[in-house]
Amino acid sequence: MEIKVSGFGGQGIIRIGMILGKAAALNDNKSATLTQSFGPEARGGACSAQLVVSDAEILYPYLTVPDILIAMSQEAYEKFEPELKEDGILLIEEDLVKPHPVRGHIRQYAIAATRIAEKLGNRLYANFVMIGFIVAITKVVPKQALLDAVPGTVPDRLLQKNIDALEQGFVLGEQKLAEAK
């Protein structure tokens, strides 16, 4: 499974890729590779994480055609949506991305991750809302593997808030899947 997480610097894009890869490799007996790309700006510049997750050994660590695209900014959506497989999964931050009509057989799901994070007390939790949403929709790793991967990725004092954000994203993802059926 090839996954591209994209947005702008400061949204926790690389952290999403790192946690998903950690969950797959350490907690789900899969192979995972992570590569990343970001602009020269610390915050606000284009940023992406490319993750390959497989049950078998990964011989090529870079994406060829993403199965899943997460777009947390309009710029990221415009740049990377054309690369997504015709039957891929597109996950967007609904308050920051205004998508075009869906092409091919792409399944598109939207979540207001930033708005949810703000209700939790800090917009910086948006990446954890999104990571819960990603796992609920794509099943790339089991939820427990994801939860087990989170400790050590954020300061201990923020751990519970980030897990709460993840849980909210997961619940909303399950609801969106149920609505789509």
What pLDDT digit, counting tens, does each position of 28-41 carry? 999 999 999 876 55
Question: Residues of the chain with pLDDT > 90: what percent?
Answer: 90
Per-residue pLDDT, averaged over 8-18, amounts to 92
Question: Angle of helix 126-138 relative to helix 156-180, nearest 10 degrees?
Answer: 40
Task: Please tell me the predicted confidence (pLDDT) of residue 23.
Answer: 98
Domain that holds residue 162: 2-180
Identify whether the C-beta of residue 51 lies closer than 8 Å to the C-beta of residue 5: yes
CATH of the domain at 37: 3.40.920.10
Handedness of CA 46, 15, 157, 42 (dihedral sign): negative
* pLDDT tens by residue, 117-135: 999 999 999 999 999 999 9
Task: Please tell me the predicted confidence (pLDDT) of residue 43.
Answer: 60
Is pLDDT of 78 > 60?
Answer: yes
Distance from C-alpha of 86 to C-alpha of 130, rounded to nearest angstrom: 22
Looking at the structure of the chain, the number of domains it has is 1
What is the number of helices (H) and of strands (E) in the chain? Answer: 6, 6
Per DSSP, what are the bridge partners of residue 51?
Answer: 3, 34
Task: Please tell me the predicted confidence (pLDDT) of residue 125.
Answer: 96
Which residue carries 């610097």 as its tokens?
A: 9
Per-residue pLDDT, averaged over 156-180, amounts to 96
- Report the SS3 class of residue 103: coil
